[in-house]
Each structure stands twice: as C-alpha cells, then as structure tokens.
Amino acid sequence: MLTSQDLIRHFGLQPLPEEGGLYTRTYLSTETIPAGHLPPRYVGSHPFGSAILYLLTAEPDSFSALHQLPTDEVYHFYLGDPVELLQLHPDGQSRVVMLGQDVLNGQYIQHVVPAGIWQGSRLKPGGRWALLGTTMAPGYADQDYLPGDRRALLAAFPQQEALIKALTRLPA
C-alpha cells in the first residue's frame, strides 16, 4: 500500500515554509513578465507560470494555512484521502470545497481559487494523506504570499470559526 513516506521519498518533498504541508516545485517558467506589464496587485516581475506537487498528511501541523495570492490558483487532486478547501470571499461569503476522487458525489479533482480569496486546506478528518498539485499563471513568487491573521479572519467570517482556527498558525 502506498504511504505518505513513499511519496515524500519518491518526489523529494520538503516542508513548505509558513504555509505548511510538503511540496516540490515541478515547473517554473524560465521566462518572466516584467513588473510594469503586470496588474498593480503584483510586486516585481513574475515567471510566466509555475506548478508544484503538494502533500498533506495526518500530522497535526500538516495543513495549508489560510493565505491570499494575487493570482488564480488551480488545484489538481491526484491521490489519497479527501481535502477540505476553505475559501473566504471579500463580500463575507465562504465556501468549503471538497477535493477528492468521488466526483459523482460532489468532490472535485480540479478547482480554481480566484485571486485575492483567502484560502486554506486540510485533510478531511480521519484522512491519512492526500497528494495534490497546483498551477499558477503568472507563476508564484515568494512576495505573493500573504498569511492570514486569525483575529481579523474570525472577526470577518465568524460563521467559519472552527475552520479558521484549524487553518491558522498562532504567532511564535
């Protein structure tokens, strides 16, 4: 039976700083878009596109902490147990999307998180691991990542208190 450790070794997955989970970059365009040719929400130049593999495990700290990105992020579900993806929208609405293989019962194998939406994910409780991928165009740059503030998100989205607490990290 395939395990998370098998995947970590096979793909050389490493901890994803700040956000959490394990990842490896599988694609980064060698060409870049100059800052002056991007919308003002971007800081600096960006690669044309990027892609990663991303692993969540049953470890307590293995989750994608709530964050915002200036680019649409396309999720791809590959293997494993279902993943809960929380989206918090600027108008106060929220949505939980279930990523997984049971597509006939409401799970998604591919899903787009629009730019500027707060997003975070974790294994559905009881899961062991999930292997996903994400792609972005323009590609990801480190300055894009905006971490979520637990207090501010709880004040803006009280209806999602449990998931916000599960998907934020307290300052050290």
40 touches 10 (CB < 8 A):
no
Q: What is the pLDDT of residue 109?
A: 98
Question: Per the domain annotation, does 167 fall within a domain?
Answer: yes
| 7 located within any domain | no
Count of domains in the chain? 1
* Three-state secondary structure call for residue 113: strand
CATH code for the domain of 154: 2.60.120.10
What confidence score (pLDDT) does residue 171 get?
64
Query: pLDDT 10s per residue in the chain (172 long)?
Result: 999 999 999 999 999 999 999 999 999 999 999 999 999 999 999 999 999 999 999 999 999 999 999 999 999 999 999 999 999 999 999 999 999 999 999 999 999 999 999 999 999 999 999 999 999 999 999 999 999 999 999 999 999 999 999 999 876 5
Q: Which residues pair with 129 in a beta bridge?
A: 57
- Domain range for 95 is 56-70+82-103+115-124+147-172
Q: Residue 108 in contact with residue 82, Cβ under 8 Å?
A: no
Say how many C-beta atoms besides its own lie within 10 A of residue 163's C-beta: 20
Instruction: Give the list of residues 6+ apart from residue 115 with CB closer than 8 angstroms, or none.
Output: 41, 69, 70, 71, 72
Residue 90 lies in a domain: yes
Question: Is there a domain that residue 29 lies in?
Answer: no
Residue 90: the pLDDT is 95
Residue 165 lies in a domain: yes
- Evaluate whether residue 5 is within a structural domain: no
Q: Which helix (H) or strand (E) holds 16?
A: none
Residue 64 falls inside a structural domain: yes
Q: Does residue 22 form part of some domain?
A: no
